[in-house]
Chains A and B, each alone.
Chain A
Amino acid sequence: MHMADALVSPAVGGIMLAASAGAIAYSTYKCKDDLDEKKIPLMGVMGAVIFAGQMINFTIPGTGSSGHIGGGILLAALLGPYPAFLTLSAVLLIQALFFADGGLLALGANIWNMGFYACLLIYPLVFRPLVKKGITKGRLTLAAVLSVVLALQLGAFSVVVETLASGVTELPFTAFVALMQPIHLAIGLVEGLVTAGILLFVYNMRPELIEASAHNQKLKSDLPLKKVMASLLIFAVVVGGGLSLFASSNPDGLEWAMENVAGTAELESTGDVYDTAESVQSSTAFMPDYSLKSSEDGSAVGTSLSGVIGGGITLLLAAGTGALIYFVKKRKEKTA
């Protein structure tokens, strides 16, 4: 589920970073009000637990395969939604930096897909109401399974939308959705059952831990949540609108300039027409359309045999430069 940098466009990555930053800012603000200092080290340790917990493979009976926990709903049930969201964001950043598990620019998308839905949307709207009347074994199991499944479905659907909006893959929308949703339904059911098992055990041993966050401290009505949603939505639309405008006009400008600098005279006339057509098209439509493909090979002049040869030589040159520096450095060290 972790998206890599290569699969998002700058506009989509930027929008999702802004949206997640907004959610983080709001969570921090909420935590400042009602978080006691004791919870700070607890959040840190829990983040590490989730990180390590994701590496425990368990065997799924009846199949030969194994699974691992995701942790969003689990964290929210133990820490409360806002601290859980912050903790998960920290975990995702560390995974991106140290393990290339998700990209740096795609971090916003990953925080949104795996953290926001589970902690800030599904937990308060599904999990908490289900266990509000009193925690029983059945209710806790139902709440856990349902929440994990819903959060994963939303996350998987977002991956589809974000990838397609980035215009990286040619996979049709329906095929992509038909691929992602069922897989994540199965994953969600298994993960939900395991999450339920963990929560039941913790509830049996230390009921106060789960009760504390289930009957939350200060979230009295649904009003604050609606406010969050509304303000986040407005924030995302404003930032997203601004960014996509910037993004749709700018690369075209770059393409145009690149053509002039590269001096491809024979393509210039057609390229200009196509470029204007494309910039009009991309500023009116939010999702990039693939129908203008032929225009792109007009502007992206590299799609030819000489382009392939040149590209190959460039890569070799880069590698050669690296090797050269390496040997010069080695020699210097030897003489020094």
Chain B
Amino acid sequence: MTGISESMSTINSLEELADKKTIIHQIHPRVKLILTLLYIVLVISYKPYDITGLTFYAFYPIILMVLGEIPFMPLFKRLLIALPFSFFAGLSNIFFDRQAAFFIGSLPITFGLISFFSIMLKTIFTVMAVLILIATTSMPKIAYQLLSFKLPQMIVEQIMLTYRYISVLLQEVSSMYTAYILRSPGAKGIKMQDMGVFVGQLLLRSFDRAENIYMAMKCRGYDGKFLYAKPQPMIKSDWMILLMTAGLLFLMRFFDLGLFIGNFVR
């Protein structure tokens, strides 16, 4: 069951990364959340045939990843998950949009090819942006910010509780799966007709677990409301970073650096 152990190690390694103390980690979570969303919106606002302007946006994730000391390996793993669907959506453009835009020598470059690269670049950039957010900001911090964005408390509690119990449940599924596979030699997975009992068993166990959790919470004074430590307020430097980075990102949208360099070189 590679999927399970892999997701456990993904969560663990991302949590470890979020524990570092680089410049990027110390930026207020609200700033990072806003900038990430702004970056994604600006990147996907580019039209399918405009890739030269888009390339300018490579600076943001690359600089942040280096400053935040985020290794590149997790990025590739995430791209493996996100890329296939984008890849096929982009590939269809190559087939359906064969009008030539220009020629390199005698090689025609079609609009479809350009929009294919546009989709690939957008996928890579947006996946990088989310990775940077989660690798430099711990989940509780993000959850508190969601609370301050006036998200209902109930859904934020759900996010935190689910997040907390994912590793526990993954462990449980992993050991149940091992037990099943040990008893069924040569099986490549769980037989479909056994799935009902397998997941059903998991559900029943989890119901009992939830009951125990509830009682434990009750013993510690839970009355239907969670208590949160107040997140730190934004300081002057946070505001500076927010305004400057947001300003830069907006300016980048107006200036086509790729084309500028291209014209200059030629």
Question: Measuring CB to CB, which residues of chain A are less than 8 angstroms from any residue of chain B?
Answer: 2-10, 13, 24-25, 28, 31-32, 37-38, 40-49, 51-53, 55-61, 66-67, 69, 78, 86-87, 89-91, 93-94, 96-101, 103-105, 163, 167-172, 190, 193-194, 196-202, 205-206, 209, 251, 254-255, 257-258, 261-262, 293, 296-297, 299-315, 317-319, 321-323, 325-326, 329
In the complex, B35 has a CB within 8 A of chain A: no
- Are B206 and A105 in contact, CB atoms less than 8 angstroms apart? no
Which one of B45, B85, B165, B203 lies within 8 Å of A254 (CB-CB)? Answer: B45
Question: Nearest 9 CB-CB pairs, A to B?
Answer: A197-B196, A44-B161, A310-B262, A201-B200, A302-B52, A47-B162, A306-B262, A6-B122, A318-B58
In the complex, B227 has a CB within 8 A of chain A: no
B3 to chain A: which residues have CB within 8 Å?
55, 57
- Are B82 and A313 in contact, CB atoms less than 8 angstroms apart? no
CA distance A291 to B55 in the complex (A): 26
CA distance A99 to B156 in the complex (A): 19
User: In whole Å, how far is B253's beta carbon from the nearest beta carbon of chain A?
Assistant: 6
CA distance A303 to B266 in the complex (A): 15
Which one of B62, B188, B213 lies within 8 Å of A321 (CB-CB)? Answer: B62
Which one of B10, B195, B258 lies within 8 Å of A302 (CB-CB)? Answer: B258
In the complex, B209 has a CB within 8 A of chain A: yes
A251 to chain B: which residues have CB within 8 Å?
45, 47
A3 to chain B: which residues have CB within 8 Å?
85
| Residues of B within 8 A of A (CB-CB), count | 129
A53 to chain B: which residues have CB within 8 Å?
173, 199, 202
In the complex, B187 has a CB within 8 A of chain A: yes
Chain B 190-221 near chain A by CB (<8 Å), digits 1 or 0: 11111111111111101101110110010000
- Are B193 and A197 in contact, CB atoms less than 8 angstroms apart? yes
Which residues 121-163 in B have Cβ within 8 Å of A in the complex? 122-123, 125-127, 129-131, 133-134, 139, 142, 152, 154-155, 157-163
Q: In the complex, what residue of chain A is closest to B166 when comparing beta carbons? A: A48
Question: Measuring CB to CB, which residues of chain B are less than 8 angstroms from any residue of chain A?
Answer: 1, 3-4, 7, 10-11, 14, 36-37, 40-41, 43-45, 47-56, 58-59, 62-63, 65-67, 78-79, 81-82, 85-86, 89-90, 92-93, 96-97, 99, 101-104, 109, 111-112, 114-115, 119-120, 122-123, 125-127, 129-131, 133-134, 139, 142, 152, 154-155, 157-166, 168-170, 172-173, 177, 187-204, 206-207, 209-211, 213-214, 217, 222-224, 253-266
Looking at chain A's contact residues, the main secondary structure is helix
Q: Supply 10 further A-B pairs (C-beta < 8 A) apart from A7-B89, A48-B165.
A: A4-B127, A38-B214, A49-B202, A52-B166, A52-B173, A57-B189, A90-B158, A262-B259, A300-B53, A303-B101
- Are A5 and B122 in contact, CB atoms less than 8 angstroms apart? yes
CA distance A299 to B155 in the complex (A): 43
- Are B224 and A37 in contact, CB atoms less than 8 angstroms apart? yes
Q: In the complex, what residue of chain A is closest to B85 when comparing beta carbons? A: A4
CA distance A153 to B215 in the complex (A): 40
- Are A198 and B47 in contact, CB atoms less than 8 angstroms apart? no
